[in-house]
Structure 1
């Protein structure tokens, strides 16, 4: 079998032909021969699976990246954008005119709209009012009717008309030519809006769009105190003028105002997509980690099976360098071929992920570039040489005496160091894929701890299983082959721990994304009472309090109406604060927005005192507040802190005298900051309420909006359902990636089983020669495999339940009941899975004549 290889290697070493070219040709012949003989299949399969998982995620992420970068100006509808939560100052608008820039303005806010004629249909809409000249970049497209061909249009809707997107047109059952009530105004539907440049990627878009002319906004009466409105100033021009404008206006910007350009276009979209991409990338990374174990096991077996050939080649004059070039070239060719196959598989698989992402974005995604393929090849080669290099180095160091003395195995010096280098290379790969040093360090540390914990538990479980079998009472006449198989776990402890740990990681990932995820979602959905409020009503003005309350009472509803004043936190203990004052991202977002403040003399339902005291009668009119405990922890607030809020341009100084815990699951109206009466009443306020609307009384909302057009009714149930559908889509994508993890776990199992096949061949042959029956040996094999799978399933279920409890407490904030059936099902499923795979790998050993096996082991 090895004659040609031996002669060719010896000739290459003796200089009878150019060494490098000859080694490469010989390496290719050996790759082809070993591939046909099955020697390299596990290595190639493990590499291909890892590369496929990572490249599939990479291709999908690259398409989103190219879409955002290629259409950055269209995503802004301008070259530069000034975003503000309050109207920009007049001198800022004037500065844009002085610099010769083209400009346009937009206002975006939620509100209810109703079909004016015929049967009343109401819906929450995301209203955008645009000025003349919008958009500055990109184009709008409209259609004359639903499902009709669309065409580009110049400018937004003319005064007196609105454009509805397809979702809103369906919800209102409105067609072009019909009239829509928007606040106090009635406007004509002019067209169906099919494309909006700065809404090209509508990630987590809940409400449908209504586009109207800015000149019609005042007549609607929808711009009221307390309304959440986003102002946008769009600018376009040459780079010099834009830079000059930005330098002039930057010192004039206030809190809640920021610039966005093509480099930071739609940061909330980028953040959401990056977060989903991180989850997918980490899922793919887990596949690479499990595949690395398979690579190490398969490479070790490959080396063991080539020790004799290397020893013969050393006797014939082959040098260590020649052997290293020969097998290094073979591994290089293998890595390139397996990586190419993995990239092809990843490209095909990424269309599944693309189908998910396509439901979250509304812009067509371009074809991916070459970067994911290059990363796939890099991952494949790093994995191969990081974990195959230590055994590969042993091949060049095999002693020539091995030809005569088979007991002389490969030298062990440097093996541990080689695998340490491989682990370091894998850690660097993890940091690279994570894309964030802090996240990458957490991932590396978390995986290292998980692997160490699984290995420790697996070792203790193997020892306990062997001890239990030894103490199990033996009865004469029974077939105790399974006892021998379970006891074999302890004899091959290291291999058993590797098999159990790797398979447990793959099973745990699947349990987390199937059973545990379902339990979490069920617990989250069941945490709210059945009659929890499912509708919120905002923008109730002070003069509407009595009429709105009477309207609700006439329909049999008595919701509690709460006042709301908007204020921005500017100082903590006489220290000015801004987003730059905090490192935590959540704190930065909170401090850069306006808070909803309210007043209450009695503790609201669902609020419990965490620290301090509740308001007394003497506190009325005093500058004291109660702060939600979670907000206080995020911002570092404590009892006695002095806070200053900017409310309607005036400074309001208050002292924190209480911290509250809120029952968010109650779906009631809750506020982060509460004051006693007499503190906030002088400031402009609107009112808000929440109530439970039975499924059969949907017409009440239509009547309410018809009577009070400025009110906005938010269907919380619809929002939660849409967010849940998005969560299901992303979870489904992650589960798809974890199928690669399961495949890698099965490859690890197979590699671990066949890596010991020579030892098992000799052991089973010896037992058969000593009189063991085939049925006893079959029971031993099945017992060992069932024990491996059962222990892996048990460990995986324990890990999945532990992580599920952490997620329930820290993320979902619900109580997750423990499922007593999960460990039993995971144990049984793991035992069946591994038994089937192990039997396929080793059953042919039972058919090998004992004499042949014994001769092979001599």
Structure 2
């Protein structure tokens, strides 16, 4: 850039700012960046907080599982990165009590355990729970209530564990990482790792599950994960809070999708405001450019000046928007601190960089094409104002806006599926919207010929400027569409999401049910008012082949796929799919005696590369079972119902050795049945997952809260779009009204025509926006989030009548000052 370019650019910027010509564009850009950065800061902190809640499911941020103690360098690297660590060991054993031996699942923990979440214990069956920060002290064990009942031992008595005698100090009612291992058949015994040597139970040949727990700042955890993954042997698994349980992962993923969707809608609305404000800026710059052309300014100089002005202005406005976004999310966190129960983790500076880049891309994409018209302004414009604005390249303007929008959506979505679906929907909506507006403008022109008075004058205004009418109605329609769409997401979809975890969701599991206990247990549950519990068979099997390909965990780069390939699956058989399963591909079998085949959960199929028609081979009870995949299922893991990755017809797995499992909802008032159930069915394991269910509900509530916060930014952007659309035509209306007043048109007649024009514009935009909001909401619900969608008639009333009233009133009030100026003053200014 030459010194003259910088000098002219600075002079133009000062003049533009003093004259107020950049206020509208600046407001749109600041709001865009503020929304993006506020959501970025808040989303980053919320997702970090929710991930930490997920860490409670493993009592840490990361866990390394293995059949042997992790290598020493694992702990050394964690220490160097500032992570806190502790270890646990789990193994089955037998305790000796007064009533004889009893199988238990022992967990030995070091003093810092747990790193995330807290333990809860009771000092008696009827005593309230109390929270403790660490595990039992040396010489003491904490046991589940059912172990006390099985041993018929009081608190304070001693039990023999190996060669040691340990005192029962408390009843263990909750451990945060129990949710990651629901299917443990024996009752839990928690002990201090310092007592392990005295028991003599652990030796190099012992079957022990070792776990190294790690916790710390998000950046340190991410750095450690990146360091560890390429070094992790096959016999070790890396587990984090997001993937510890599919129920929690599903809720967290859906919360993240809602947040990104809300961010993208805000971006879409604010981008429309930038485009409309740019058009007004072009009209205000024509005279200054014409004078520069008269003074000999070449087009390439004007081009450089315009680009540099936009870049500098965009950078400054983006930084102001980042500051506004930071302050906005701080205010929200302060106002809603009680919702989170603890301070949210600090956000990084990444949203600032994202906000500035977003602001510049949006400004250049939406504003540069209209401003390029100014380089073609004729010098004669300085003498002949009737020459008007150079004809804009509609294709160039549309292409620039669409490219900027596509780039920002793909970048900001964080989910390619969400980005492409939203981008496709927006493109289709815009094309259809423009075509529909052209038809409606023609219809308005026909009605204007039959109308009289202010009605004719108002409807004729739509046809006198058909290109601007299309732009204005499409802009209004897009803004209203975004507002209505977010209202659909905020009200209907979030309500459906909340109701996806109803108050009666299962909070207890019964596992290890023997075949001969199925009918007595069903009768017992029905006698206690639990008639809805369905009991399912469960068979353990390891996937060993997909087609002719041997399943080897080391062949998978995806850690989740590697973990799934290394584990045993809980298989089941059924003659019909469960209510919360949906066949997404293929076909379910039509009879219990159907040919051998498998139905596979869709997420598992995608992770392991399983397709319809593939033959799967499982190793079950000492032999191989092979069958083709004939259907894929979408499973709602967050329903907390019993679900399985792989299901077959009864004719295939019905003869295998199986235990049974069920889940049901048990209110607090009905918990008195538990002692009787444990006594009647001593081999059945009862698992209380109510705490896990509460954590998932907390994720849903906080996700909803974040989306409602974004709605405020979108509402402000929508109002700005409407204001920018009204302001974009003021210069042309000023001249037009001056001529009409000179020809004898009355002030009140012109005011009435304005009311008719803007109200008709609002009604047309609202009608089109309501149609597209319903269709887009249905697509988002059904195809993206897997939720049921119900069409909302109130949306049409709000969209059509509300937009007609709002735009009609706002447009009339905004243009009223043009009517109170003397016609001569207006015409002199135009000339």
TM-score interval w.r.t. the shorter chain? 0.7 to 0.9
1:122 corresponds to which residue? none
Alpha-carbon offset, residue 582 of structure 1: 9.4
Secondary structure (helix, strand or coil) at the match of 2:792 reads: coil
Instruction: Pick from 333, 346, 350 the counterpart of residue 371 of structure 1.
Output: 350
The question of whether the paired residues in 2 share the 8 Å contact of 1:77 and 1:234 is answered with no
Structure 1's 841 and 548: CA in aligned 2 closer, same or farther, altered over 3 A? same
Distance, in Å, in 1 between the alignment partners of 2:131 and 2:507 is 37
2:591 corresponds to which residue? 614
Cα deviation code 1:130-179 (max 9, x no counterpart): 434465996998899999999986x7654644499xxx9xxxxxxxx989
Deviates more, 1:317-326 or 1:787-796: 317-326
Alpha-carbon offset, residue 278 of structure 1: 5.2
Distance, in Å, in 2 between the alignment partners of 1:688 and 1:804 is 37
Instruction: Pick from 293, 297, 300 the counterpart of residue 276 of structure 2.
Output: 297
Instruction: Pick from 653, 672, 681 the counterpart of residue 625 of structure 2.
Output: 653
Secondary structure (helix, strand or coil) at the match of 1:131 reads: strand
Structure 1's 664 and 467: CA in aligned 2 closer, same or farther, altered over 3 A? same
The question of whether the paired residues in 1 share the 8 Å contact of 2:138 and 2:195 is answered with no
1:565 corresponds to which residue? 539
TM-score, length-scaled by structure 2: 0.73
Distance, in Å, in 2 between the alignment partners of 1:408 and 1:691 is 77
1:45 corresponds to which residue? 27
Structure 1's 407 and 337: CA in aligned 2 closer, same or farther, altered over 3 A? same
Distance, in Å, in 2 between the alignment partners of 1:829 and 1:764 is 28
Structure 1's 420 and 267: CA in aligned 2 closer, same or farther, altered over 3 A? farther
1:788 corresponds to which residue? 761
Distance, in Å, in 1 between the alignment partners of 2:495 and 2:61 is 46
Alpha-carbon offset, residue 454 of structure 1: 2.6
- After superposition, the CA RMSD in angstroms is 5.8
Cα deviation code 1:18-45 (max 9, x no counterpart): 635643552353144223xxx2211111
Distance, in Å, in 1 between the alignment partners of 2:56 and 2:495 is 40
Alpha-carbon offset, residue 270 of structure 1: 9.1
Secondary structure (helix, strand or coil) at the match of 2:819 reads: helix
Determine whether 1:57 maps to 2:34. no
Deviates more, 1:630-639 or 1:737-746: 630-639
Instruction: Pick from 571, 575, 578 the counterpart of residue 549 of structure 2.
Output: 575
Structure 1's 590 and 500: CA in aligned 2 closer, same or farther, altered over 3 A? farther
Distance, in Å, in 1 between the alignment partners of 2:652 and 2:566 is 27
The question of whether the paired residues in 2 share the 8 Å contact of 1:495 and 1:752 is answered with no
1:450 corresponds to which residue? 429
Determine whether 1:30 maps to 2:15. yes
Structure 1's 841 and 803: CA in aligned 2 closer, same or farther, altered over 3 A? same
Cα deviation code 1:652-676 (max 9, x no counterpart): 3143597698998999866551443
Cα deviation code 1:722-754 (max 9, x no counterpart): 645533432332232233223223222222222
Secondary structure (helix, strand or coil) at the match of 2:745 reads: coil
Distance, in Å, in 2 between the alignment partners of 1:149 and 1:233 is 26
1:124 corresponds to which residue? none
Alignment of 1:136-151 (within 5 A): none
1:503 corresponds to which residue? 476
Distance, in Å, in 2 between the alignment partners of 1:824 and 1:244 is 56
Secondary structure (helix, strand or coil) at the match of 1:407 reads: helix
Cα deviation code 1:174-215 (max 9, x no counterpart): xxx989999x99953499999x8x99xx99x9xxxx993378
Q: Which runs of 5+ in 1 are unaligned?
A: 1-11, 110-126, 169-176, 219-228
Alpha-carbon offset, residue 760 of structure 1: 1.2
Alpha-carbon offset, residue 347 of structure 1: 0.7
Determine whether 1:769 maps to 2:716. no
Secondary structure (helix, strand or coil) at the match of 1:42 reads: helix
Structure 1's 637 and 388: CA in aligned 2 closer, same or farther, altered over 3 A? closer
Instruction: Pick from 276, 285, 290 the counterpart of residue 311 of structure 1.
Output: 290
Distance, in Å, in 1 between the alignment partners of 2:8 and 2:63 is 61
The question of whether the paired residues in 2 share the 8 Å contact of 1:705 and 1:711 is answered with yes
Distance, in Å, in 2 between the alignment partners of 1:788 and 1:856 is 28
Distance, in Å, in 1 between the alignment partners of 2:250 and 2:634 is 28
Distance, in Å, in 2 between the alignment partners of 1:444 and 1:675 is 41
1:131 corresponds to which residue? 108
Instruction: Pick from 282, 300, 320 the counterpart of residue 341 of structure 1.
Output: 320
Instruction: Pick from 385, 399, 407 the counterpart of residue 428 of structure 1.
Output: 407
Alpha-carbon offset, residue 831 of structure 1: 1.1
Cα deviation code 1:448-476 (max 9, x no counterpart): 233223333333333334334545xx4xx
Secondary structure (helix, strand or coil) at the match of 1:624 reads: coil
Determine whether 1:400 maps to 2:379. yes
Distance, in Å, in 2 between the alignment partners of 1:382 and 1:857 is 35
1:104 corresponds to which residue? 87
Alpha-carbon offset, residue 843 of structure 1: 1.2
Distance, in Å, in 1 between the alignment partners of 2:113 and 2:788 is 51
Alpha-carbon offset, residue 54 of structure 1: 0.7
Determine whether 1:390 maps to 2:369. yes
Cα deviation code 1:236-295 (max 9, x no counterpart): 9xxxx9999999972x53xxx634699x99898899767644543443333333333322
The question of whether the paired residues in 2 share the 8 Å contact of 1:610 and 1:629 is answered with no
Cα deviation code 1:813-847 (max 9, x no counterpart): 67644333431232111112212321232111121
Structure 1's 213 and 108: CA in aligned 2 closer, same or farther, altered over 3 A? same
Determine whether 1:850 maps to 2:823. yes
Structure 1's 569 and 129: CA in aligned 2 closer, same or farther, altered over 3 A? same
Q: Which runs of 5+ in 2 are unaligned?
A: 78-84, 93-103, 146-153, 183-187, 197-206, 215-223
2:571 corresponds to which residue? 597
1:171 corresponds to which residue? none
Structure 1's 144 and 456: CA in aligned 2 closer, same or farther, altered over 3 A? same
Distance, in Å, in 1 between the alignment partners of 2:624 and 2:761 is 66
Alpha-carbon offset, residue 678 of structure 1: 8.8
Distance, in Å, in 2 between the alignment partners of 1:412 and 1:51 is 31
Distance, in Å, in 2 between the alignment partners of 1:261 and 1:553 is 39
2:650 corresponds to which residue? 676
The question of whether the paired residues in 2 share the 8 Å contact of 1:510 and 1:735 is answered with no
Paired residues, number = 761
Distance, in Å, in 1 between the alignment partners of 2:116 and 2:489 is 45
The question of whether the paired residues in 2 share the 8 Å contact of 1:532 and 1:692 is answered with yes
Alignment of 1:322-333 (within 5 A): 323=302, 330-333=309-312
Structure 1's 142 and 590: CA in aligned 2 closer, same or farther, altered over 3 A? closer
Structure 1's 493 and 189: CA in aligned 2 closer, same or farther, altered over 3 A? farther
The question of whether the paired residues in 2 share the 8 Å contact of 1:794 and 1:827 is answered with yes
The question of whether the paired residues in 2 share the 8 Å contact of 1:24 and 1:326 is answered with yes
The question of whether the paired residues in 2 share the 8 Å contact of 1:139 and 1:152 is answered with no
Determine whether 1:627 maps to 2:605. no
Cα deviation code 1:383-434 (max 9, x no counterpart): 2233333343443443222222223345447675366345434433333333
Distance, in Å, in 1 between the alignment partners of 2:369 and 2:544 is 60
Alpha-carbon offset, residue 645 of structure 1: 1.3
The question of whether the paired residues in 2 share the 8 Å contact of 1:628 and 1:661 is answered with yes
Alpha-carbon offset, residue 71 of structure 1: 14
Deviates more, 1:270-279 or 1:432-441: 270-279
Structure 1's 180 and 366: CA in aligned 2 closer, same or farther, altered over 3 A? farther
Distance, in Å, in 2 between the alignment partners of 1:412 and 1:314 is 17
Alignment of 1:473-552 (within 5 A): 474=451, 480-515=453-488, 518-520=491-493, 536-541=509-514, 545=518, 548-549=521-522, 551-552=524-525
The question of whether the paired residues in 2 share the 8 Å contact of 1:561 and 1:689 is answered with yes
TM-score, length-scaled by structure 1: 0.71
Distance, in Å, in 1 between the alignment partners of 2:118 and 2:629 is 55
Secondary structure (helix, strand or coil) at the match of 1:847 reads: coil
Determine whether 1:830 maps to 2:765. no
